Amino acid sequence: MENLSISDSGPRGAGPPQQQQQQLGPQMAGPQQLPPQMFTTAAQLLDLTDTNLVLQATIERIFVPPPNPSTPGLYADIPRGTFLVRGENVLLLGEIDLDRDDEPPAGYELADSARVEKLAKERREAESARGKVRIERLNAIGFEGENVGDVLL
């Protein structure tokens, strides 16, 4: 596969422009046509989206929502180190506001990471138990969802 730019005339070996015009017939007057390399094929799309990311000095921020609206929720920042993200179809969009990273999230207070992790785990387990009960009830009336196998675990 050749790497061509917009200014290139096309694939090599196609012959001089006069021969091309004779082969194609009279040229229609109209807008200039895009060169063939501008059309995206599956191989060209893979070249655009294949990437590896190295994330250094990463921090995981865990949130525990407040039990009632009058009390603030809790959050903790846990340093995780370096991550390597490998794969196809990696796409990053967005902006990083470095000033906003320094501010605590609205409605949340910084707490000890062990406490926040424990509360988050308890909350996940409670939601999982509620989900299992819900799936069992739906299964009892004849509904079979996508994650019926989770009930058995």
pLDDT tens readout for residues 77-87: 999 999 998 87
Residue 78: the pLDDT is 93
Residue 29: the pLDDT is 60
Residue 112: the pLDDT is 95
Look at the block and give the residue holding tokens 């969009």.
93
What angle is formed at CA 140 by the lines to CA 139 and CA 145, rounded to 5 degrees?
A: 10
Taking Cα atoms as reference points, which of 76, 84, 80 lies closest to residue 59? 80
Instruction: Give residue 127's pLDDT band: very low, low, confident or very high (50, 70, 90).
Output: very high
Q: Nearest 10 degrees: CA dihedral of 55, 106, 121, 137? A: -120
pTM here is 0.54
Taking Cα atoms as reference points, which of 134, 108, 132 lies closest to residue 120? 108
Mind listing the domains of the chain with CATH numbers?
49-152 (2.30.30.100)
Report d(CA 81, CA 83) in Å as an integer. 7
Residue 120: the pLDDT is 94
Cβ(77)–Cβ(60) under 8 Å?
yes
